Structure 1
């Protein structure tokens, strides 16, 4: 399985590496805000998975496996949209 790097931190994340904090996930997805994460969880098609662990406070933990699978679905949806747009 291919490894994916987080941009700014240089940390390698693979699906088997465990969890990402909300801050790490925001960074990984392009320096998003946590509000954007919440909005993406509300999408009708391929919503962002819910955090796996919600300790008290604001530091949620997200399953690396679930985020990796979500990213793969997003890539497939993006390709399908591009293909559909090019045929019209």
Structure 2
């Protein structure tokens, strides 16, 4: 199931010069420096990729997905591979 879900995302984003992958780890800055937004950092294919200015809901969703071993799929523009454009959580 996971492979087919990832393949669907990949097929969709390939048309838009985007790439995607499944995260195997994450970092959440719980208390960012004053004046800085909260970020979620996902490790995908042994590279760190950042979802900038993540909402509190996104932070919770990522933590919950990893806690319940649900796939977290990051999508990025191939021209800016370290900046996530989207995060998708598979709940099957």
TM-score category, normalised to shorter length: under 0.3
- Which protein is richer in strand relative to its size? 2
Q: Which has the larger radius of gyration?
A: 1
Q: Which structure has the highest helix share of the two?
A: 1
TM-score in terms of structure 2 length: 0.24
